Structure 1
Amino acid sequence: MPYIFSHREYADMVFVYGFCNGNTVRSVEEYRRRFPNRRIPNRQVFQSVFTRAGESGMFPSASIVSEKQQGLSLEHEENILDVVENNPGISTRRMAIQSEIPQTMVWKTLKRQGLNAFHLQKVQNLQEGDYPLRLQFCQWIRENRRLLKCILFSDEAQFTRDGINNYHNNHRWSNENPHATQEHNFQHRFSINVWCGILNDQLFGPFVLDGRLTGEGYLHFLEDHLEEILDDVPLNIRQRMIFQHDGAPPHYSNNVRNFLNTHFGDRWIGRGGPHPWPPISPDLTPLDFCLWGWMKSLVYARKVDTRDALLDRILNAAAFIRANHRSLKLATRSIYKRANKCIEVGGGIFENVMRINATCFFGLLVS
């Protein structure tokens, strides 16, 4: 039993448990009311102490600890809780050093108090002027929900040789240190820039962009390749289709905006467009919160050694995702829920406070 109490405390627990007719929830509250200055046992302690007393006629063996030791234990526990309250992000190692208590005891104390370590979630940094722009766009989405299936969400991403590595999860299980290493390819790097689009449940692309994306290169893509990429989209949908891209500098050039105004009129979303795209908003486009993470998890499942191999992986990953129409459709539809949550928090970051019921991540539906 992980709890240490005195004989007197155990006796009082049994009395309170009987007073509450075996109701452990009421026992905790009654014990807290009667002994506000004591450490409060949880429901399992009441049940365990009563059961052991009934079966063996004895309290748990931990009760042999003296009252003086109990006082010291409680004092140490309070020191640990004070450290956590003043610095919620502190590690258990530093906690042990500051409170002069073994780290294992720190862990037990935190567990006994119901405290858990939660990882921080990395989010975008919003400026003061970003909030009203995000609100404006999300309100437009909420008022025009039927248009979601007509929006072609688009974006570009770069795939490199090494991909994205999380070294915290790179390890080798062994009886002895194998001194394993992870190679870097600083002198033999290569990368591929690709464009992709999502329209309702359809994935378009990837289209390989030459070199670093510029306004001129992006305009060339729109003029010479976009229509061919969308060739399979029915005419009645293309006539209603709304083109979306973010506020990246190449998207904002005068020539690009003139092209979109000419070919889409008021049916495009972007910086400087008829429907402004809010800055710092990857949480509102399915390519950022769904596609790229999913695709890179497939591409980098194994080490990539050549640019041709990397391109093959990208194409194969896209083919696999393209066949998952349901995941793509749910990701697109989830934007409506995301827009509502964004409005609830005044245009701020919302992914850390919501349960996303309709999105895809690495090919799975998260709820």
Structure 2
Amino acid sequence: MNYTVQELTSMIYVIGSCEENCFLASRVYAQRFPERRHPDSRSLENLRERFNRTGSVAYEKQTRTKTVLNEENALAISLAIVENPRISVRDISRDLGIKKSSVSKCIKQNKFHPYHFQLHQELIENDFERRIIFCQWAQNQIAENEDFFKFVLFTDECTFHRNGFVNRHNFHYYDTQNPHVVEVNHYQHNWSLNVWGGIVHNFVIGPHIFEGRVTGQVFLNFLINDFPRLIHHLPDYIKNQMWLQLDGAPPHFSANVRQHLTENFPGQWIGRQGPTGWPPRSPDLTPMDYFLWGTVKSDVYSYAATPQEDMVQRIFSANNPCYA
């Protein structure tokens, strides 16, 4: 609500007579000028602050942000992004005095895209050389047979926890009235599931759920008793030339497991101290990490936490055993 200069001047006099007590001044002003509009205490506080800052009762002129997306503004926006790729549209708008809509338009015109961060495991000094060696080996295999990696069975284990995760940023609950939805994410009795899975060609293998902690002996029993059943449906042309990849986790590295792999996949398994070494801490080189587990967890955790039996069913439903 805008007041006249005369009204604002009267308000300042009343504020001064009330020793700058704006709550009292609002009551005194209403009694002294019953025929006028009556400001509340907050309006009088704003007037007092403006008068102390500027020495005038007049309203301050609002400085409008630049709306013209000329060449100079476009260059300034681009330079801000180049200097700090993590800067936000809001920060650019504030620093340069350009409307956020104009900043967004300029970013789009210059084909800048807000890429999301990817989380990776920390690499130690020797890891770089191992990754290079593996990639050079992979390139040689592709040079001899461009379909080589269609016959590599990539495998991995993943842990599913009871509470999973809830991304409140992307979670919505539509209703005509606020249902006050509450998501429980702390439990006294927690549990988790260790799940094995694999991908070869366009087939998803598994899942297989381990009972309890996975040790070398547990994993060896899995390879002997369960693994043949899981790959039974594969066409013979895949099984006859298939390689097996393991990421070198402690259960994969036990002497009995490596001996079993050497006997059943002679010269055709990839892993720690295998015929072909797998570079440690390299989830970006396997489709299990950058594709399968993310997809499965999105399906499994798309609903509220449930009993363990229900989560097992969801895991099996998300892992289509036929095609990826």
Q: Same fold (TM over 0.5)?
A: yes
CA contact (8 A) 1:96 1:103 kept: yes
Q: Secondary structure of 1:136's partner?
A: helix
* Structure 2 Cα separation of the partners of residues 307 and 70 of structure 1: 56
1:120 corresponds in structure 2 to 116
229-238 vs 183-192, which deviates more? 229-238
CA contact (8 A) 1:137 1:277 kept: no
Indicate the residue corresponding to 1:254 in structure 2.
Answer: 255
TM superposition shift of 1:230: 3.4
Aligned partner of residue 89 in structure 1, secondary structure: coil
Alpha-carbon spacing, 1:96–1:182, altered in 2? closer, same or farther (3 Å): farther
Query: 1:32-47 maps to which residues of 2 (within 5 A)?
Result: none
C-alpha separation in 1, matches of 2:104 and 2:136: 47
- Is 2:212 aligned against 1:215? no
1:129 alignment partner, SS class: helix
2:191 corresponds in structure 1 to 190
**Other-structure match for 2:33:** none
How far did 1:74 drift? 7.1
2:160 partner SS: strand
Q: Distance in 2 between matches of 1:266 and 1:212?
A: 29
- Residues 45-194 of structure 1 aligned to structure 2 (within 5 Å): 79-107=76-104, 110=107, 114=110, 116-122=112-118, 124=120, 126=123, 127-142=127-142, 143-171=144-172, 181-194=182-195
Measure the CA separation in 1 of the matches of 2:235 and 2:76: 68
Q: Bigger relative contact order, structure 1 or 2, given CA contacts below 8 A and separation 6+?
A: 1
Task: Judging by fraction of residues, say which structure has more helix.
Answer: 1
Q: Compared with structure 1, are the counterparts of its residues 316 and 70 closer, same or farther at alpha carbon in structure 2 (3 Å cutoff)?
A: closer
What is the letter of the counterpart of residue 88 of structure 2? Answer: S
**In structure 1, what is the Cα distance between the partners aligned to 2:231 and 2:83?**
57
CA distance 1:180–1:117, shift in 2 (3 Å): farther
SS in 2 for 1:168: coil
Task: Tell me, in whole angstroms, the C-alpha distance in 2 between the residues paired with 1:242 and 1:70.
Answer: 60
- Kindly provide the CA deviation profile for residues 83-127 of structure 1, in whole angstroms up to 9, marking residues without a partner as x: 33322221122223323455445445545x535442234153555
The residue identity in structure 2 corresponding to 1:119 is Y
Work out the CA distance in 2 between the residues paired with 1:194 and 1:177.
38
Q: State whether residues 134 and 279 of structure 1, in contact with CA within 8 Å, keep that contact through their aligned partners in structure 2.
A: no
Identity %: 36
Q: CA deviation at 1:285?
A: 2.9
Matches within 5 A, 1:278-317: 278-317=279-318
Partners in 1 of 2:231 and 2:69 — Cα distance?
73
Q: Is the 8 A contact 1:246 1:277 kept in 2?
A: yes
Contact 2:67/2:99 (8 A) holds in 1? no
CA change 1:314–1:71 in 2 (3 A) is closer
SS in 1 for 2:218: helix
More divergent stretch after superposition (171-180 vs 290-299): 171-180
Q: Contact (CA 8 Å) 1:151, 1:241: kept in 2 or not? A: yes
Q: Which amino acid aligns with 1:118?
A: P
Gaps of 5+ in 2: 1-65
- Report the CA distance shift for 1:273/1:87 in structure 2 as closer, same or farther (over 3 A): same
What amino acid maps onto 1:254 in structure 2?
A
Equivalent position SS for 2:169: helix
Alignment CA distance shift 1:256-1:76 (3 Å): same
1:153 shift after superposition:
2.5
The residue that corresponds to 1:266 in the other structure is: 267
**Secondary structure of 2:220's partner?**
helix
Query: Residue deviations 1:305-343, cap 9 Å, x none?
Result: 11010011112222xx224x3xx3xxxxxxxxxxxxxxx
Q: Distance in 1 between matches of 2:68 and 2:284?
A: 51
**Does the CA-based 8 Å contact 2:69-2:102 persist in structure 1?**
no
Letter in 2 for 1:99: L
Aligned residues between the structures: 254
Distance 1:169 1:146, change over 3 A: closer
What's the CA shift for 1:146? Answer: 4.7
Q: Retained in 1: the 8 A contact 2:196–2:208? A: yes
The TM-score with structure 2 as length reference comes to 0.64
Residue deviations 1:17-54 (CA, integer Å, cap 9, x gap): xxxxxxxxxxxxxxxxxxxxxxxxxxxxxxxxxxxxxx
Aligned match of 1:241: 242
What runs of 5+ residues in structure 1 fail to find an aligned partner? 1-68, 329-367
